[in-house]
Structure 1
Amino acid sequence: MQRLMFEPKWDKTIADQDRKWIKAQFNQLIFADDSSIQFTILKHAYNHRNHLLVTVLIHNLSDQPVRLDSTIIDWANQATGTFTVPIDIQAKHSMPWTFIFTDYKTPIDEDDELVIRGWCKKS
């Protein structure tokens, strides 16, 4: 059974309203038996520097902890970045995270998908 976890800094600072919203989004998901890393896009926005911020749930559906380490993540060939998430995502856990893309080609379509093109390390 998939469980929701929060990175420690998120856990301390996230607003109650945002935590409830993320939990509600998580509770609506249905997980297939799989052993992969998947994303559910929760929202996207642009910051004051016009960087694209994409908030997702990262799902580790495998039986082992994983860490995204120098992992290339691509959004429909419109935004690409190399990201490291600083903690292990435990087996059968999901965790919210925001990826910041400093360079993107065109406005993002909400129907586009995030794709991992790099490596995730098994811990």
Structure 2
Amino acid sequence: MQQLIFEEKWDKTIAEEDRTWIESQFENISFDDHSGISFTVLNHAFNHRNHLLVTALVHNCTDQPVTIKDQSMTWGTQATGTFTLPVAIDANYSMPWTFIFTDYSNEIDQDAELNMISTN
């Protein structure tokens, strides 16, 4: 059974309203069709530097902890970046994370998917 966890800094700083909203989004996910590592995009926005921020739930639907280190990722066809998460995600856990893309096109697809690029 998949469980939700917050990274330590998130856990200490997230507003209660945001935590409740993320928890409700998590509760509405069916994990029947999830396997491996997958993502559920929750939101996207732009920061003061005009970087694209994509907040997603990172799902580890495996039976082993997963570390994301120097991983190339895309958000649809509009954005690419390389990311490292500061913690491993335990087996059968999901964790919210915000990915900051500095390289993206001006046309943003509201329904884009977040994907890891295979290095195999």
Q: Same fold (TM over 0.5)?
A: yes
Alpha-carbon separation, structure 2, partners of 1:87 and 1:100:
17
C-alpha displacement at 1:109, in angstroms? Answer: 1.1
Secondary structure at the aligned position of 1:68 is classed as coil
Secondary structure at the aligned position of 1:59 is classed as strand
Q: Which moved more, 1:13-22 or 1:24-33?
A: 24-33
Q: How many residues align?
A: 119
C-alpha displacement at 1:33, in angstroms? Answer: 6.0
* Counterpart AA for 2:39: F
Alpha-carbon separation, structure 2, partners of 1:78 and 1:41:
14
Give 1:98-117 correspondences, 5 Å limit. Answer: 98-117=98-117
* Counterpart AA for 1:8: E
* Counterpart AA for 1:60: N
Alpha-carbon separation, structure 2, partners of 1:3 and 1:74:
25
Contact kept, 8 Å, 1:70 with 1:118, in 2: the verdict is no
Gaps of 5+ in 2: none
What is the TM-score normalised by the length of structure 1? 0.92
Moved over 3 A (4+): none
Q: Percentage identity across aligned positions?
A: 59
Alpha-carbon separation, structure 2, partners of 1:101 and 1:77:
12
Residue of structure 2 in register with 1:51 after alignment: 51
What is the TM-score normalised by the length of structure 2? 0.94
Cα RMSD after superposing both structures = 1.2
Gaps of 5+ in 1: none
Residue of structure 1 in register with 2:21 after alignment: 21
